[in-house]
Amino acid sequence: MNILARQTRIDPPLIAPPPSPPPVVAPRPREQQPTISTRPQVGPSIISAALTVIGSLESNGDIQIDGKVEGDIRGKGVRIGSAAVIKGTIVGEVVELAGKLDGKIEAGSAGLASTANMSGDIIHRSLRIDQGAYFNGNIRPHSKAEKTERTMEVARPVTTQHPTRSHHYPEVSAET
């Protein structure tokens, strides 16, 4: 054999190994983005017994108060717990008082539980006072008709002329 002679060697064809399947990756959990809810709240806003609030509270939903509040409270439904102490006005469609209130209630439906202690006035459409409740103040019913009447009185024009006698009422003479 000739060392210098060239030998042609045919290498077997290179066969690429079959492509491996892509690695299976578990789906990433989606990041929770805060959502703004358009539906009304389900539960009430709660002021616990350990909390004292100085200032007004206002909610489009229900409010439950077990602590102390010095200020006005306005909500759709307002419930004052038996240990609560309130100094101010409470306004709501439904107001339930079981604690102490030094102030006023304006409600469609107002209720004083047997543990209630209230000094002040109540303006209501519907009122319930349980036996054992303490109340010192004035109670005045408030109806939609009254509200409409007052609005109409405010809207009446003011006249500056003095009224004249009406011709519909005959004068009575003192002749005998």
Q: What is the C-alpha separation between 47 and 57, in angstroms, rounded? A: 10
Residues β-bridged to residue 36: none
For 10-22, letters b (16+ CB in 10 Å) and e give eeeeeeeeeeeee
84, 65 Cβ separation under 8 angstroms: yes
- DSSP three-state, residue 130: coil
So what's the pLDDT on residue 43?
82
E strands present in 15-168: 45-47, 52-54, 57-58, 62-65, 68-70, 73-80, 85-97, 100-112, 117-119, 122-129, 134-136, 139-141
Whole-model pTM: value is 0.59
So what's the pLDDT on residue 159?
40
User: Which tens digit of pLDDT belongs to each residue from 49-63?
Assistant: 999 999 999 999 999
pLDDT digit string (tens) for the chain, length 176 residues: 555 555 556 656 666 666 666 666 666 666 655 545 454 556 888 999 999 999 999 999 999 999 999 999 999 999 999 999 999 999 999 999 999 999 999 999 999 999 999 999 999 999 999 999 999 999 999 866 444 344 334 444 444 444 444 334 444 444 44
User: Which tens digit of pLDDT belongs to each residue from 85-118?
Assistant: 999 999 999 999 999 999 999 999 999 999 999 9
Query: Is 82 buried (19+), middle (13-18) or exposed (0-12) by CB count in 10 A?
Result: middle
